[in-house]
Amino acid sequence: MPPIDEPAAMTNIVPLNKETYRHLKVDSRASAAFDNRRFVQVIVKEFPLLLVHYPILFSKDPQTGQFFCGAMLGFDENENLFFEDWQQRELYRPLYLQRGPFYGNGPELAIDLDDPRVGADSGKPLFTDQGTPTRYLQSMIWAFQDLTAGTEMTQLFIARMLELKLIEPVDVEVEFDDGSMRRCIGLYTIDQDVLARLPDAVVVELFRRGYLRLIDYMIASLKQVPVMARKKNLRLLKATAGLASAVG
Amino acid sequence: MKAGGVSVTLVESPDIKIIGVGEGTWPTMRASLERMGVSETDLFKHCDAAFKQGGKFAGWTTGAADDAYYHPLMLPHGFGQVNLVPHWLRRENNQSFCDFVTPQGRLCDLGLAPKLITSPEYKAVANYSYHLDAGKFAPFLAKHCIEKLGVRHVLGNITQVNQAESGDIRSVLTQEAGEVPGDLFIDCSGFNALLIGKTLGVGFKDCGDVLFCDTALATQVPYDTPDDPMPSQTIATAQDAGWIWDICLPTRRGVGYVYSSRHTSEDAAHVALAKYIGRELPARKIPIRSGHRETFWKNNVVAVGLAGGFLEPLESSAIVLVELSAKLLAEQLPANRHVMDIIARRFNDVTLYRWGRIIDFLKLHYVLTRRTDSAFWRDNVDPATVPDRLKELLALWKFHPPWFFDEFDRLEEVFPAASYQYVLYGMGFESESSPEALMDTELQAHRARQDVERQTADLRARLPTNRDLLNRIREYGLQPV
């Protein structure tokens, strides 16, 4: 998972200014090309919003091996079981995806002009006729303020969890009614045995820093795995039923 | 230190330099360091460490240009269930024994690392140990032991050893730090063998009649560019009178010629080394006295490291023995002086057995040669130079290829049966086996072979290059989980 200000390959990122880009529009909706993924990076500030829909787990960046926090969205590659909900603008969509084609540029924003979501006629304008940021652009500015500070806070949280040996690998293994199995590897969660043995002083420290709450959110969010599995199961059954009627 | 009521003091001479040529290790090192609580990331960052996935032996069998085999660190696939040797011996394809039973030789050929940046510290995808800068490793460990494990460090030259009437050492006197008393003394004084040899008079069993190499010329070779590919195998290339080691660290190579001074001159050895490297570089001469103490634990003195013995640096065996001896000592540390002699006897039995097995295993590399082009190789196959036990095993292995249960009965065998398989069948040893024996395990062997090929393809696709992973580890570190 790249840091927020590191663009992917083949981009044309320019600082955003109201003179040149006064009339630019951006499609802010969830789109298959960007939002269909099974895992997305999140920041600790989002945990309360995520917990009610998605399992929150740790994973490792394949390029650096560093831990990051993420929300699980599906079981298969490029599968987002919440995509339709997001298109309807229901359910919370993590900031890393809400950001769309925007990038950080110090305190300012930059935008990738080669991103297909940029320039769409149906998109949202960035500036008003008076040249002030629209509500949409303002929300992006706030999103980046959250992401910049939040990524650092999340790293601090992870570092403390590692120090206390509170991170352990978890095997997410699910069997579906069509007989298929999914095993998601490279995921980590809170080690509850280690948690239970922490000395009182450390528990108080974690509580004061707000980490105990985050830990509880992560543990509770694991209950979303079976909920997601049921969602996926229904889809698989529908697909099988469709196949059966086509054959019949 | 107060772990289990034991306090450890290290008395180190500030003047005696370390030998510093042992740059290869055995996978036991991973367990040793993890047990000590060393961070593997720190090891990579501070000791110029790199991965080692085995040894490649070039020119040992025939001396021909294409003569080479691997002794990888992964066990043959399914080693606990099926012995693949008889199946390979049918030679239904041109694969080497190593490629037949494991992906690791091919990983080495491709310059791939044995793990991923997402693999936790000390966890392997393909079994590995380290190549490292011995000159940096020693102070790195000393610092860890002092700061994290509470070992007391005394810098001082020992000028006098005080003994009790029983012969036990009571204390050592240092010029710089006065008298250091102790209940148990571990002699790590190197070739000096100050306590075990000079003070207690324990004799030295020379094994130069079995292993002829008695001198090493060691040098360091810089890379042409910082991104030169790095093999993760120790390359040992046979020469007229010994062999040349070639070990790749991230910042330089360590290269040296280990030779028998009875079979070549120092000048000729320098020429051979320069020819191998492609240019002349200054080389340090190190004498090797192959052999070990007759007893390793006498009175209240235990010899570990060079004080206990030394062999040519083939297969990183010396460092393995240091680790195994330290572990044995830590696990069986005598509760008091009364039981010390009982434990000492056990320690001596096990350690003597281990030295014997290491000598056998090193000799195995020589005794299977078909080279007759120099006296060194011809003399090496002279039966008078082969230990009896090894002779017996070679006779046995003609009909019973070594495997899981054979012969190797000790809990912590230094080199497992798998290592013998790799050397024997890497060097073209012939074993006969009955077709019936094959039929019983046909299906298991077939499955194991399929697994090896599948695993090879999978690892080729997933693993980064050795150089790439080392760069990433130095930049980002490995995670503890």
Q: How far is CA A157 from CA A68, A210, A211, in A?
A: 10, 9, 7
Whether the CB-CB separation of B255 and B246 falls below 8 Å is answered with yes
- Which of the listed ranges A137-146, B22-31, B233-242 does the model predict with the highest average pLDDT? B233-242
- Do A65 and B117 count as a contact with CB atoms less than 8 A apart? yes
- Do A66 and B475 count as a contact with CB atoms less than 8 A apart? no
Residue range B178-197: average pLDDT? 95
Residue range B129-147: average pLDDT? 95
> Taking phi first (over 0 means left), then psi (-120 to 50 degrees means alpha), and beta for anything else, what does residue A86 get?
alpha
Nearest CA in chain A to B475: A64
B463–chain A nearest CA distance, Å: 11
SS3 B242: strand
Nearest CA in chain A to B115: A65
Residue range B346-360: average pLDDT? 94
- Do A66 and B472 count as a contact with CB atoms less than 8 A apart? no
Which H helix or E strand runs over B274? helix B266-277
The residue of A59, A64, A158, A160 whose CB has the most chain B CBs within 10 angstroms, and thus the best one to mutate to test that interface, is A64
Least confident segment among B79-83, B156-160, B272-276, B452-456: B79-83
- Do B481 and A167 count as a contact with CB atoms less than 8 A apart? yes
Which of A62, A63, A65 has the CB atom closest to B479's CB atom? A65
Residue range A62-84: average pLDDT? 96
The residue of A39, A59, A63 whose CB has the most chain B CBs within 10 angstroms, and thus the best one to mutate to test that interface, is A63
Those residues whose C-beta lies under 8 Å from the C-beta of residue B427, and which sit 6 or more positions away, are B57, B60, B61, B69, B365, B368, B369
Residue A1 has pLDDT above 50, yes or no: no
For residue B208, what pLDDT band results from cuts at 50, 70 and 90? very high
Residue B400 has pLDDT above 90, yes or no: no
A77–chain B nearest CA distance, Å: 17
The residue of B122, B475, B479 whose CB has the most chain A CBs within 10 angstroms, and thus the best one to mutate to test that interface, is B479
Kindly state whether A248 is in contact with chain B, defined as any CB-CB distance less than 8 angstroms. no
Whether the CB-CB separation of B53 and B127 falls below 8 Å is answered with yes
Those residues whose C-beta lies under 8 Å from the C-beta of residue A49, and which sit 6 or more positions away, are A92
Whether the CB-CB separation of B327 and B297 falls below 8 Å is answered with no
Find chain B residues with C-beta within 8 A of A168's C-beta: 481
Give dist(CA B127, CA B310) in Å, integer.
Answer: 26
Residue range A127-132: average pLDDT? 90
Greatest Cα-to-Cα distance within chain A, rounded to the nearest angstrom? 67
- Do B117 and A62 count as a contact with CB atoms less than 8 A apart? yes
B120–chain A nearest CA distance, Å: 9
List, as ranges, residues 95-124 from B with C-beta within 8 Å of A.
116-119
CA dihedral B439, B441, B444, B450 (to 10 degrees): -60
List, as ranges, residues 38-77 from A with C-beta within 8 Å of B.
60-67
List, as ranges, residues 452-481 from B with C-beta within 8 Å of A.
472, 475-481
Q: Write b or e for each residue in B109-123: b if 16 or more Cβ atoms lie within 10 A of its Cβ, otherwise e.
A: eebbbbbbbbbebbe
B54-58 and B233-239 strand pairing: parallel
B125–chain A nearest CA distance, Å: 14
B477–chain A nearest CA distance, Å: 8
List, as ranges, residues 385-414 from B with C-beta within 8 Å of A.
none
Inter-axis angle of helices A211-221 and A135-163, to 10 degrees? 100
- Do B472 and A162 count as a contact with CB atoms less than 8 A apart? no
Q: How far is CA B279 from CA B215, B226, B238, B242, in A?
A: 21, 19, 19, 20
**DSSP code string of B170-218:** EEEEETTTEEEE-SSEEE--GGG-IIIIIIT---EEE-TTT----EEEE
Residue B54 has pLDDT above 70, yes or no: yes
- Do B118 and A186 count as a contact with CB atoms less than 8 A apart? yes
Least confident segment among B248-257, B347-356, B398-407, B420-429: B398-407
Give, in degrees to the nearest 5, the angle at Cα A83 between A78 and A85.
165
What's the confidence (pLDDT) of residue B380?
98
Which of A64, A66, A168 has the CB atom closest to B481's CB atom? A168
Residue in the structure block whose two tokens are 């991104």: B227
Give dist(CA B369, CA B358) in Å, integer.
Answer: 18
Mean pLDDT of chain B: 93
Find chain B residues with C-beta within 8 A of A163's C-beta: none
What's the confidence (pLDDT) of residue A234?
92
Find chain B residues with C-beta within 8 A of A194's C-beta: none
Give dist(CA A223, CA A235) in Å, integer.
Answer: 20
- By CB neighbour count within 10 A (0-12 exposed, 13-18 middle, 19+ buried), where does B468 fall? middle
- By CB neighbour count within 10 A (0-12 exposed, 13-18 middle, 19+ buried), where does B426 fall? buried
Residue B418 has pLDDT above 80, yes or no: yes
Which of A64, A66, A188 has the CB atom closest to B481's CB atom? A188
Find chain B residues with C-beta within 8 A of A190's C-beta: none
Residue A169 has pLDDT above 90, yes or no: yes
The residue of A66, A163, A185 whose CB has the most chain B CBs within 10 angstroms, and thus the best one to mutate to test that interface, is A66
Find chain B residues with C-beta within 8 A of A67's C-beta: 479
Q: How far is CA A8 from CA A3, A4, A13, A101, A114, in A?
A: 10, 10, 10, 11, 11
Residue in the structure block whose two tokens are 């007391």: B152
Residue B223 has pLDDT above 80, yes or no: yes
Give dist(CA B55, CA B108) in Å, integer.
Answer: 10
Q: From the CB of residue B434, how many other CB atoms can be counted at a distance below 10 Å?
A: 10
What's the confidence (pLDDT) of residue B16?
83
List, as ranges, residues 326-385 from B with C-beta within 8 Å of A.
none
- Interface size A-B, in CB pairs within 8 Å, comes to 35
Whether the CB-CB separation of A141 and A109 falls below 8 Å is answered with yes
For residue A3, what pLDDT band results from cuts at 50, 70 and 90? very low
CA dihedral sign, ordered B429, B27, B409, B211: positive
What's the confidence (pLDDT) of residue B409?
55
Give, in degrees to the nearest 5, the angle at Cα B107 between B105 and B112.
145
- Do B479 and A67 count as a contact with CB atoms less than 8 A apart? yes
Q: How far is CA A194 from CA A162, A163, A168, A207, in A?
A: 11, 12, 10, 16
Residue range B61-80: average pLDDT? 96
- Do B118 and A167 count as a contact with CB atoms less than 8 A apart? no
Tokens at A1, concatenated = 């998972």
Residue A2 has pLDDT above 50, yes or no: no
Tokens at B405, concatenated = 């249960």
For residue B407, what pLDDT band results from cuts at 50, 70 and 90? low
Nearest CA in chain B to A186: B118
SS3 B313: coil
Which of B119, B472, B480 has the CB atom closest to A64's CB atom? B472
Find chain B residues with C-beta within 8 A of A60's C-beta: 117-118, 479
ipTM over cut 0.90 = no
Per-residue pLDDT tens digits for B284-301 = 999 999 999 999 999 999
Residue in the structure block whose two tokens are 């008393």: B181
Nearest CA in chain A to B464: A63
